[in-house]
Chains A and B, each alone.
Chain A
């Protein structure tokens, strides 16, 4: 492309000097033509770069997905190898334990595939959203109840404070449930040792305002701009545990965006994180 621009530039100069007497017009023609060619070259190069990037992201997506799925698949494969191997003598307690692992890993695969389907629908724009009037504080209470066992096992206290007489919000219950589950799950999971996770809900102007605070590992400043990206998992989290799809916050942001709300966070490494989102009141 560069050679084309140089040749065209020279040719236009030669042609210009032949047919045009005014040097300033020749110069203008030359510069104009060169500029147009540069812009075309830039557009073409950018398009190729975007195509290459899209192709690279697709390969990376497939690599990550197959690795993520392979972990529970290996677990199931080796457990069944063990359970079906000759001469294996096992107490019924041990068998129960292994069957439990089989169940967990099947559930893990189902969860990952479900998340991937949601991601795929988000990207195709075919995300079914059924918004209606509903009580956000009741939904939060429901999710907190279901998260109690996990919180207790992790030595975390869950606290929920909400304004009195809150109006109903206008949202898709199933989708917002996913968001709240993900935020509470992260808050518990990324707090080492004992701690508290606090949730607030209040009305601000025409929106319901949700805030969740943890005293967990926090998000390093360098990672913060990637936090809502698909498959992104912060370095300081990967140091603690490699399991986790990195899809939760990407899904949460897509859901809140499509629900006409906003989601954001404030975090300090080693001190903890606050996640916020708003949802419209009809």
Chain B
């Protein structure tokens, strides 16, 4: 069973996406802030990370940078899942090695899961 780590401080989204992912037979791991997210990424070695940007304790872009600098987590694909859509954030995230940048309000739940499946297949 593939493991997806979801780093997001909105508990409602954790619950909704978590339930949906489990229904699609993924194991959903949740982290409510950047620091815990980084820790869990190193411990659990998920198959994919969904990363919000506006996070308590550590900003998403700092988490991304740390993930890509660590040989243990460098290869894990990261999909940014955020409501920030400034061109600066997008460029920075892609520069730092994010696979995809998704603005939450623009995507249905099923579409997010399709993107996850596509990334895992690639």
Contacts and interface: CB of A to CB of B under 8 A. Distances in A.
A71 B109 contact: no
A75 B110 contact: no
A74 B23 contact: no
Interface string B29-68: 0000000000000000000000000111100000000000
A71 B16 CA distance: 13
A234 interface: no
Given A71-B10, A74-B105, A77-B108, A82 B16 contact: yes
Q: Determine the interface band of chain A, counting residues with CB < 8 A from chain B.
A: 20 to 34
B92 to A, nearest CB: 16
Nearest to A88: B23
A262 B94 CA distance: 49
Given A63-B86, A73-B105, A85-B110, A78 B23 contact: no
Nearest to A70: B83
B109 A78 contact: yes
Interface in B57-106: 57, 83-84, 86, 104-105
A101 B13 CA distance: 10
Contacts of B12: 75, 79, 101, 104-105
Interface of B: 9-10, 12-13, 15-17, 19-20, 23, 54-57, 83-84, 86, 104-105, 108-110
Classify the secondary structure of B's interface with A: helix
B105 A70 contact: yes
A242 B13 contact: no
Interface string A167-207: 00000000000000000000000000000000000000000
B16 A70 contact: no
Contacts of A238: 56
A123 interface: no
Contact of A101 (B15, B84, B104): B15
Contacts of B86: 63
B13 A241 contact: no
B104 A79 contact: no
B56 A239 contact: yes
Contact of A242 (B23, B54, B109, B110): B54
B10 A75 contact: yes
Nearest to B19: A82
Interface string A219-257: 000000000000000000011111100000000000000
A67 interface: yes
A82 B20 contact: yes
B30 to A, nearest CB: 15
A81 interface: yes
Nearest to B52: A242
A138 B84 CA distance: 43
A98 B9 CA distance: 18
A181 B16 CA distance: 31
B109 A81 contact: yes
B108 A81 contact: yes
A64 to B, nearest CB: 11
Contacts of A67: 54, 83-84
A232 to B, nearest CB: 16
A77 B105 contact: yes
